[in-house]
Chain A
Amino acid sequence: MGGVLVIEDDDRIRRSLVMALEDEGYTVRGSATAEEGLAANRTEAAEAVLVDLMLPGIDGFECVRQLRRDGDATIIVVSARDDTHDIVAALEAGADDYLVKPVAIKELSARLRAVRRRNRGGPTAGGATIVVGDLEIRPDAGEVRLHGELVSLTRTEFLLLCELGQHAGQVLSRAQLLTRVWEYEFGDERLVDVHVGRLRQKIEDDTAAPTRLVTVRGLGYKLAR
């Protein structure tokens, strides 16, 4: 596992991104289509994948879904589309982050460094097992069990749940979660909302009336004890 995979159909953008990220010290591969990119990721799993949304053939959303199914890579959508619907749809498809073109290389590099820091910590967040109601979080093993059954979470979802679990019963603001889970100084709070939504689909009985991961209006989220 390693390196950054850039899935971008625009030849010039792809070439320039590959060059710029190589300069930043990453091992970078480029793919012009989703099919090519998915194959490249299966051959050698990337640490982070940058995906454009408008791709020929399999589109960006589907590409994100398949990448998510294939593995644990951090998926960052880099798109010219800045519509809220697109952003939410991409995040719901499984993307970890969404950046709107043009992205400054410094910014992109900062995000990738955050990804690396998180991943260097290994798949686990460390710490003792947390039991909150019928939810059991084992940071050392990277496992979450609900009613004793294993729940499959992405890395971001897992880290988010760990963070909330370590402060169970306490409200964490979106900004706090962005800093602690994504390690971003500054970012789009919709990231948190969508990830909380995805997490709820996996740990709540009724996502419309969450009982475990609750919203505290105007403040943020908390994991109810």
Chain B
Amino acid sequence: MSRLGLRARVTATVAIGALALSTAIAALSYQFIRGSLVAERERTATRTAFSDATWVRARLGQNTNTVDVLGGVDAGSSRRPLLHINGKWFSLSTDTVASADIPVALQQMVDGGQPARQRVRTSSGPAIVIGMPLSDGTQYYEIVSLAETQQTLDLIGLVLSLVAGGVTLAGGGLGWYTGRLALRPLVHMAEAARGIAAGDLGARLDPMSDPDLEPLSASFNDMVDQLEKRIERDRRFAADVSHELRSPLQTLAAAAAVLDRRRGQLDERTAAAAQLVVEETDRFQQLVTDLLEITRADSELDLSDVDVLAMARDLCRSRGIDPSMVVVGRGAESTWHADGRRVQQIVGNLLDNAQCHGGGVVSVRLRQRGARNVIEVDDAGPGVQPENRELIFRPFVRGAGAERRGDTVGAGLGLAIVARLADSLGGRASVLDRPGGGARFRVILARRPS
């Protein structure tokens, strides 16, 4: 299975295609240009050599100084004229090796009275050797350098290679762009899905964006509609249930208060029953309040600047905890842009948990770490076993001994609420060992821009 993404694969495919095509075109062009350039050069060289030979032949008749005659040939730098008279070589320069560049087969042909031409590779680069018999025993040769042509060809080759490279890059770019274009709807979909996962159920795809993708976006939107309806129905049901529970509970709470106050006037058995009613009413009330908190975790955030230090100290005070236990980490701010109610609920529940199950609060720290706000509550209890550290945040899981002691505090929802609220605030709750014993409850929350 390929590990490459779709876009990388499209990019690679188009780039490879562009490379193959541009290389083929460049190679063909090069071959064609080279052929025609060299042929053209050969034709010119032959024509020039022919006229030079005619000129040399005429001069040789008048002047016996062969080198002077050769000097008369307007050869320029790219042509080297040579004469082969009766087996002896004459040339302009002291270039004695020049004759060595002339292939033996060509010499034999020219000696036989046939003009001939051949491409050779000399010490100074590629060249054309043209030989012409002037008269019996005298042959005229010209070595025409192809260095200039070669340079031109090299340049053309370089340009063609660059073009091929450029085309490959452009192909890759096109592939990447095409991939992106093709994947854009998926990117939108991923964004929408992310938004939905983060709780924004209003996110939808634009159904008109592309006729090819309409079935996909339509079914996606349909799915989100269904999801939204379902969540709304669940939420409404939970809200309705708790709302319907509130009214009878209010009666129970008030009536239980009346019973409680008059316990002394009741006989022992009735008083005991009354006490049970009062306690269970309290617990029931707490349970409903907690359940409502959980349903509230799904509702919209209400962000404002919150002085968490003051809030945490107030929460401590109202629970009889020394407020100086709350400290702000070094360099951290004591005012957070956050949902005050939720943060208050989180801190309150952690304090309650430490008091009920953790042997009391040891310290409360408010810190900031990168883009996160951190709340830590340390307790003096026995700590939490590693295997229970996930379990403890589930609903209706009670701390050890709470039930045995007949403790009526808490319905086992406190930490579950903390976890749900932390989740709704883009963070998470966890429990660790406190150095020196006890548990450290840590809630990390996403920091929100104000």
User: In the complex, what residues of A have CB within 8 A of residue B258's CB?
Assistant: 16, 19-20, 23
Given A23-B257, A173-B307, A218-B335: A102 and B288 interface contact (C-beta under 8 Å): yes
Given A173-B307, A217-B305, A218-B305: A102 and B249 interface contact (C-beta under 8 Å): yes
Residue of A nearest to B248 (CB): A12
User: In the complex, what residues of A have CB within 8 A of residue B252's CB?
Assistant: 16, 102
Name the segment of A41-49, A61-69, A77-85, A198-206 touching the other chain.
Answer: A77-85
Which of B311, B314, B317, B335 interacts with A219 by CB under 8 Å? B335
Measured in the bound complex, the distance between the Cα atoms of B253 and A45 in whole Å is 27
B310 near A175 with CB under 8 A, answer yes
B51 interface hit (Cβ, 8 Å): no
Report A's interface with B, CB cutoff 8 A.
10, 12-13, 16-17, 19-20, 23, 78, 80-82, 84, 100-106, 173, 175, 185-186, 189, 217-219
Measured in the bound complex, the distance between the Cα atoms of B171 and A105 in whole Å is 77
User: In the complex, what residues of B have CB within 8 A of residue A173's CB?
Assistant: 307, 310
User: In the complex, what residues of A have CB within 8 A of residue B317's CB?
Assistant: 185-186
Measured in the bound complex, the distance between the Cα atoms of B253 and A60 in whole Å is 22
Q: What are the 3 closest A-B residue pairs judged by CB atoms, nearest first? A: A16-B254, A218-B305, A105-B257
Measured in the bound complex, the distance between the Cα atoms of B247 and A100 in whole Å is 10
B243 near A104 with CB under 8 A, answer no
Q: Which B222-269 residues sit within 8 Å CB-CB of chain A? A: 243, 246-255, 257-258, 261-262
Measured in the bound complex, the distance between the Cα atoms of B110 and A133 in whole Å is 121
Question: Told that A13-B247, A218-B306 touch, could you supply 20 new A-B pairs with CB distance under 8 A?
Answer: A10-B251, A12-B248, A12-B251, A13-B251, A16-B250, A16-B254, A19-B258, A23-B258, A78-B250, A80-B247, A81-B243, A82-B296, A101-B247, A101-B250, A104-B253, A106-B257, A175-B307, A175-B310, A185-B318, A218-B307
Scan B288-299; emit 1 where CB is below 8 A from any A CB, else 0: 100010001000
B318 near A17 with CB under 8 A, answer no
Given A186-B314, A219-B307: A80 and B246 interface contact (C-beta under 8 Å): yes
Given A10-B247, A186-B318, A218-B307: A82 and B292 interface contact (C-beta under 8 Å): yes
Number of residues on chain B facing chain A (CB within 8 A): 31
B126 interface hit (Cβ, 8 Å): no
Measured in the bound complex, the distance between the Cα atoms of B424 and A131 in whole Å is 47
A105 near B254 with CB under 8 A, answer yes
A-B contact pairs, 15 of them (CB 8 A): A13-B250, A16-B258, A17-B254, A20-B255, A23-B258, A23-B262, A102-B252, A103-B250, A103-B253, A105-B257, A175-B307, A175-B310, A175-B311, A185-B318, A218-B306
User: In the complex, what residues of B have CB within 8 A of residue A78's CB?
Assistant: 250
B251 near A16 with CB under 8 A, answer yes
Measured in the bound complex, the distance between the Cα atoms of B248 and A121 in whole Å is 36
User: In the complex, what residues of B have CB within 8 A of residue A219's CB?
Assistant: 307, 335
B246 near A102 with CB under 8 A, answer yes
B285 interface hit (Cβ, 8 Å): yes
For residue A187, give the distance in angstroms from its CB to the closest CB of chain B.
10
B305 near A84 with CB under 8 A, answer no
Instruction: Name B's interface SS.
Output: helix
B165 interface hit (Cβ, 8 Å): no
Measured in the bound complex, the distance between the Cα atoms of B314 and A104 in whole Å is 20
Measured in the bound complex, the distance between the Cα atoms of B254 and A13 in whole Å is 8
Residue of B nearest to A8 (CB): B250
For residue A107, give the distance in angstroms from its CB to the closest CB of chain B.
10
B243 near A20 with CB under 8 A, answer no
For residue B314, give the distance in angstroms from its CB to the closest CB of chain A.
6
User: In the complex, what residues of A have CB within 8 A of residue B307's CB?
Assistant: 173, 175, 218-219
Q: Which B81-97 residues sit within 8 Å CB-CB of chain A? A: none
User: In the complex, what residues of B have CB within 8 A of residue A13's CB?
Assistant: 247, 250-251, 254
Measured in the bound complex, the distance between the Cα atoms of B254 and A16 in whole Å is 5
Measured in the bound complex, the distance between the Cα atoms of B245 and A139 in whole Å is 45
User: In the complex, what residues of B have CB within 8 A of residue A105's CB?
Assistant: 253-254, 257
Residue of B nearest to A109 (CB): B257
Measured in the bound complex, the distance between the Cα atoms of B128 and A50 in whole Å is 116
Measured in the bound complex, the distance between the Cα atoms of B249 and A104 in whole Å is 10
B387 interface hit (Cβ, 8 Å): no
Which of B247, B248, B257, B310 interacts with A20 by CB under 8 Å? B257
Residue of A nearest to B348 (CB): A186
User: In the complex, what residues of B have CB within 8 A of residue A12's CB?
Assistant: 248, 251
User: In the complex, what residues of B have CB within 8 A of residue A175's CB?
Assistant: 307, 310-311, 314
Measured in the bound complex, the distance between the Cα atoms of B255 and A114 in whole Å is 23
B340 interface hit (Cβ, 8 Å): yes
Scan B310-335; emit 1 where CB is below 8 A from any A CB, else 0: 11001001100000000000000001
Measured in the bound complex, the distance between the Cα atoms of B305 and A12 in whole Å is 41
A19 near B250 with CB under 8 A, answer no
B314 near A80 with CB under 8 A, answer no
User: In the complex, what residues of B have CB within 8 A of residue A186's CB?
Assistant: 314, 317-318
For residue B342, give the distance in angstroms from its CB to the closest CB of chain A.
12
Scan B101-144; emit 1 where CB is below 8 A from any A CB, else 0: 00000000000000000000000000000000000000000000
